[in-house]
Amino acid sequence: MSTPASATAEQKSELAARYGLDQPLIMQYGHWLAAVAGGDFGISMISRQPVGTELLARLPITAELTVLAVAVSALAGVPLGVLTAVRARGGRDPGGGGAAGRLLSGLGVSVPEFVLGSLVVFVFSRYTLGLEVGAWVPFTQDPAANLATLVLPAAVLSVFAISVTARTTRDAVMGVLVEPYVTAAVGRGESPWFIVRHHILRNAATPVVTLLGTIIAYLLGGALIVEHVFNLPGVGSYIVQAVGRRDYAVVQAGVLLAAAVFIVMNVLIDLLVGVLDPRLGVLAGRRS
C-alpha cells in the first residue's frame, strides 16, 4: 500500500472506514470503550498486531524496571532520611543533612531523566566500565545478564525518587521524634537505633508509604523516557514510538493502562496505610 503522504483519496477513505475514523468522535469513543470492556484494545496501525498482545509482551520489562527503581528508592532514600533526621535531632547536624545533602537532593529533583540518561549512555558507551547500554537480555534467557542491563536504567529512574523519599522520610521522622513515647524511651535508656526500629519507623511510615505509591505512578511516566534512551523494548518505548507514528490505538491503550495502574496502586496504598496505622481506619470509620 502507498505511504500516507502519497495515498490516494480512495485509499485514505478505505483506511478511515477500516479503523472507524470516518465516524463522529463520540461514536468512536463509545465503540472503543465497548471493545476495551471485552478485552479488545484494537489493532496497531503500524505492526497490524493486536495492541493487547503487544502490551502484554512488553509489560514484564517495564514492571521489572519499575520494581527495581522503587526498591532502589526505598533502600537508599529511607535510611538516608532516617540518618539525617536522627543526626539533626541529636545536635550533631543542626542543618539536617548539611549543605552537601541538600545540594545533592536538589540536583536529584531538578535533573530530568533524559538529561541524566543521555549522560550515562554517553559515559558507559565511551568508556569500558563493566556495564553495557543498549543491549537487552530477557530474564528467561540469562537472569544475571538481564539484571545487568537494567542496573543503569533503574539507577537513572530512581534518582528523583531517592531524593524525594529521603526528604519525606526525614520530615516524618523529625515529627515522630518529638512525641512523648520517644522521650519516655530515651528516659528509659534505650539505644537510639533500638528506638528507631521499635518506636519511629512504623509511626513515620505512613507518609513514606503514601509517597512511594505516588512515586510508582511517576516512575511509570519516567519509564517512557528511560526505556527510549536505553533502548529497552518495554511499554514505555512502545508508547513513545506510537506517539511519533500516530498509532492512536497504542497510545489510547497505554494511557488507559497507566491510569489503571495509578488507581490500583492508590487503593493498595490506602489499604496498607490502614494496616500500618489502625488509627487512620478508626478515624475514617467515625467520619463515615
Mean pLDDT, 10 residues at a time, the chain of 288 residues: 62 77 83 84 83 87 87 87 75 51 68 81 81 78 85 87 85 81 78 77 80 78 80 85 85 85 82 70 50
Residue 283, pLDDT score:
47
DSSP bridge pairs for 50: 43
Number of Cβ within a 10 Å radius of residue 234 = 25
- Please say whether the beta carbons of 133 and 117 come within 8 A: no
Distance CA(198)–CA(191), nearest Å, equals 11
Residue 286, pLDDT score:
52
Helix, strand, coil percentages (3-state) for the chain, rounded to 5, are: 75, 0, 25
Residue 266, pLDDT score:
81
Number of Cβ within a 10 Å radius of residue 61 = 24
Q: How many CA atoms lie within 13 A of 190 on its CB side?
A: 17
Q: Treating both helix axes as pointing N-terminal to C-terminal, what angle do 248-276 and 235-245 enclose, rounded to 10 degrees?
A: 150
Q: Which is the CATH superfamily of the domain at 59-232?
A: MetI-like (1.10.3720.10)
Q: Any idea where the domains of the chain sit in the sequence? A: 59-232
Residue 279, pLDDT score:
61
Q: What is the pTM of this model?
A: 0.75
- Please say whether the beta carbons of 162 and 236 come within 8 A: no
- Please say whether the beta carbons of 266 and 218 come within 8 A: no
- Please say whether the beta carbons of 200 and 173 come within 8 A: yes
